[in-house]
Amino acid sequence: MKKILILLLVPMFAFAQTNSKREYWQTNKWTAKKGMNTQFEAGVAKKTSKFNNTKENSFATYQIITGTDQGKYMRIMGNRSAAAFDIEDASEMAFWNKHVMPYTEKNDGNIRWWRMKGAGQNWDNNLPPARFIKMTTYTIKRGQMADFFRFWRNNTKLQKELGYSGVSGVFMLESGGQAFQVLEVEPYNSHKEGKGDFKNPDVDYIEEYNKMFGWRSHRNDQNAYSASIEKWGINIETGVLKPKMSTKL
């Protein structure tokens, strides 16, 4: 199984602040001051080594390498309980302010997600971060979440049946972004090897889908799925791991 960082049973989509039974992830993108990337990276590395050196308080840092945010650093705080957000460490914040903020142009603000555990493929929180991640953010039209997840849920079920080896995690927005956003994270370690394969590479996927879910179901479900997404509502990015700025697991 490939190493991973971290994105279907459709739950109730209530936008509460936190839920004690959910698994939370938080992301934030940072921009270093011009010409100060080296100092910024060194400061984050020192802070991570000093304050984020266990699985319970771990962080991973990726640099965005495709998309409009190319060049930004994304810090990921993963696999936390709701109670984790009640904890504040003044010394940790002071260290960040002293060793990182002088080299920071801006940050985009925290975005909090909860992981939909039945929606992904081959996800394992115990594995270390992958070298690369592909992140796809979907913005869903109000009232059409069921159409989106019907196709998603069916694909998840069929892919598992067909022995798909790829890894993905699926996250629902909790706070910090636009309502009705879903994030899929696909970790992988080699562009050459790709993100996953089926046991039978020659499988006719659409035919298998229709066998499992009914005649013409793939076409109908895919059309409803596509219609559920806002016209501007798909954003795809790729990130590369910055090991020195990440917790060593």
* pTM greater than 0.85: yes
Q: What are the sequence ranges of the domains in the chain?
A: 24-245
| CB 92, CB 51: distance < 8 Å | yes
Provide the sign of the torsion angle of the four alpha carbons 143, 147, 152, 154, taken in this order.
Answer: positive
Name which CATH class applies to 24-245. alpha beta
pLDDT tens by residue, 82-119? 999 998 899 999 999 999 999 999 999 999 999 999 99
| Residue ranges of the chain with per-residue pLDDT less than 70 | 1-18
CA dist., res. 212 & res. 202, Å (int): 18
| CB 52, CB 46: distance < 8 Å | no
pLDDT of residue 15: 38
pLDDT tens by residue, 106-154? 999 999 999 999 999 999 999 999 999 999 999 999 999 999 999 999 9
Partnered with residue 59 across adjacent β-strands are none
**Identity of the amino acid at 81:** S
pLDDT of residue 5: 38
| CB 3, CB 128: distance < 8 Å | yes
pLDDT of residue 86: 92
